[in-house]
Amino acid sequence: MIWGIDSNLRKPHHTKSARLGLVSVVILVFLVLFSPASAKQDFFAQANQLYDQAKYMDAVKYYRAAIQEEQMTPFAWFNLGNTLVQLNKHHLAVVAYKRSAELAPTFVRPWLLLGDLYYAHGAYGLAITGYKRARDLGDDSEHLHYALAESYRQLKDYTDAAREYEAVLKTNPDRIECWFSLAEIHEKMEDISQAVSTLKQAIQFTPAAGADAYFYLAYLQLQQDSSKAAITALENGLLLNPGNQMARRHLATLYQEQSSPWMSIFTLEQGLSSKGAKEDRELEVDLGQIYFDQQRYPEALDHFIKAWKYGSTQGRIGAENVGNAWFNLGDTLQSENAYRRVRMKE
């Protein structure tokens, strides 16, 4: 079986952004068993052996000899292309794949790998031409549809890209990057409702939809002014990934906007109690600010000072503001104590 160059998956940030990386080369030579009628040297078989031993420079010489001797010529050209890819000679590999396709017009694999090479070098229009030719010759693989989708997406042809992502998901709903890509396409087309619906389907149909799917869903729901729905999505995401402190801070902010400061405090304290977050200065500042807004100055001062100890200038400013608040209330003793703690970082 012949394998081509598969594109790496892009990681769902879930930020918007994640994109397809450069192709990773995983190629096996096209092996053909045959018995030459004559006793002349079997260059093609020897080249395949050298390829399997990763002796690519030597394999090139033998594939060229096979071509010269007209031994399995279309496949010798194809395997030569594979070998040149391994040697990072992509421009020469393109020539070899094209020659293979010319000699064997119904041979699918050269066209697919031509598409991969063109995609790797940013020639997305040419990549689409290669992929479509492979499709016309009968290729209906997941890789083909995904590669077409990514190529269309690079050219901002979102309609065709969405169609190809959907084709992938029909056979493999666990391709979470396709769900994310579809959602992002709908977002770019300003169809937020469809983007939300797409992510909900991903969460429903595939176990591969983890915390990032919920975080991205929350982001989209906020664009719809659906704060309560966003809170639920963030809560679900944090159950799967409690260490995402940025999402936790967003959740705490939403609770404050919903007039639930006690839930904000609970959310941030959960974050500080999680493994590796005991010295999270941003969470300490956020907690200090909530307590400050509630005029609970002793608690506010404690959290601001902790943030200041961890190097946060916002923590220092917050602690000084606590001192200023006490001074304005006429409590000079507490005010001086706050200023002292700032100076001493204690």
Quote the pLDDT of residue 32: 47
Among 286, 297, 299, which residue's Cα sits nearest to residue 321? Answer: 297
In a domain, 85, yes or no: yes
Q: Evaluate whether residue 87 is within a structural domain.
A: yes
Cα-Cα end-to-end distance for the chain: 68
- Whole-prediction pTM: 0.80
Question: Which 8-state DSSP code applies to residue 25?
Answer: E
Angle at which helices 211-223 and 176-188 cross, to 10°: 10
In a domain, 35, yes or no: yes
For residue range 108-129, list pLDDT tens digits in order: 999 999 999 999 999 999 999 9
How confident is the model at residue 236, as a pLDDT? Answer: 97
Q: Is residue 289 part of a domain?
A: no
Phi, psi of 23 (to 5 degrees): -65, 145
Domain residue limits at 43: 31-105
Residue 69 lies in a domain: yes
Amino acid at 318: G
pLDDT tens sequence across 244-253: 999 999 999 9
pLDDT of 9 above 90:
no
Q: How many domains does the chain divide into? A: 1
Give the whole-angstrom CA distance, residue 318 versus residue 112: 60
Q: Which residue has the tokens 């590999």?
A: 93
Mean pLDDT computed over every residue of the chain: 88
Q: Please indicate, yes or no, if residue 74 is contained in any of the structural domains.
A: yes
Looking at residue 278, what is its pLDDT? Answer: 56
Block residue for tokens 């839930």: 263
> Would 21 be classed as within a structural domain?
no
CATH number, residue 97: 1.25.40.10
51 inside domain: yes
Task: Kindly report, residue by residue over 126-147, the tens digit of the pLDDT.
Answer: 999 999 999 999 999 999 999 9
- pLDDT for 81-98, tens place per residue? 999 999 999 999 999 999
Among residues 76, 150, 140, 86, the alpha carbon closest in space to that of 110 is found at 76
